[in-house]
Amino acid sequence: MKFCIPKPLVEHLDSIPQGSVIKERGWITTNDLLYVQKKYLRHIPLSILLKGLEPYFDSKPKKRNYSPEFQAQLDKLRLKLEEDEYQQMVNRGKTKLEGDDTYKSPAQVWKEVNSYITNIINVLVTVFAVVWALWTWTSYNPTVFKLHYRVLICFFGGLLALVADVVVLNAFFRKINEAKSKERNKIEIKKVIDTVIIKKKSD
């Protein structure tokens, strides 16, 4: 194994045969060091030559020079990965849905899915009720509302009801998501209001 030339040895390389070779290459092996100490440097204890001996590397790894913008992106990505690993550790057993930053238990996921299914059913029931009401209303005057008119009225009435329900639901879910986001961003501040010291009652 190669080692850096110890400082006590550097001072004596000029007086040692082959010292110029060792100095030029910049490293020395333990066998070379033992030989040099035994042959030419008996007055220097081996412990001094071995003190602080460091491994020698042929080429030091080059430091990559990134632009400040790219380095900032790397730091941001590293922090995000660390945060994701931490969240996965503390939320083990929970699921993270797509488009949602929070982890949820299977019960919470099922509750949310059930809520979406219920809303879809409610929308379909509303559209069906509007279509049925229009179809029934137009049937009272068949001379004015011909069959093709009735079909068009029911179609556009159901479409209007569908659009209205979707708009209302989107606004409702947007408000809920905004409330959740504000709740997550709240900073919890804890203050010590008072302290109570309980002493053991002496006999």
Written as six digits, the tokens of 152 are 């068009």
Same domain, 173 and 101: yes
Which tops the pLDDT comparison, 38 or 86?
Answer: 38
Is residue 203 assigned to a domain?
A: no
Give the rounded distance of the alpha carbon of 82 from its chain centre.
5
pTM recorded for the entire structure: 0.40
Same domain, 172 and 117: yes
Same domain, 112 and 177: yes
- The pLDDT value recorded for residue 159 is 92
Is residue 78 assigned to a domain?
A: no
Is residue 197 assigned to a domain?
A: no
Is residue 30 assigned to a domain?
A: yes
Indicate if the pLDDT at residue 60 is higher than 60: no
* 96 phi, psi to nearest 5 deg: -110, 115
27 — pLDDT class (breaks 50, 70, 90): confident
Q: How many CB atoms are closer than 10 A to CB 119? A: 15
- The pLDDT value recorded for residue 86 is 72
Same domain, 100 and 178: yes
Q: Compute the average pLDDT of residues 91-109.
A: 64
- Which residue range is the domain that position 140 belongs to? 94-182
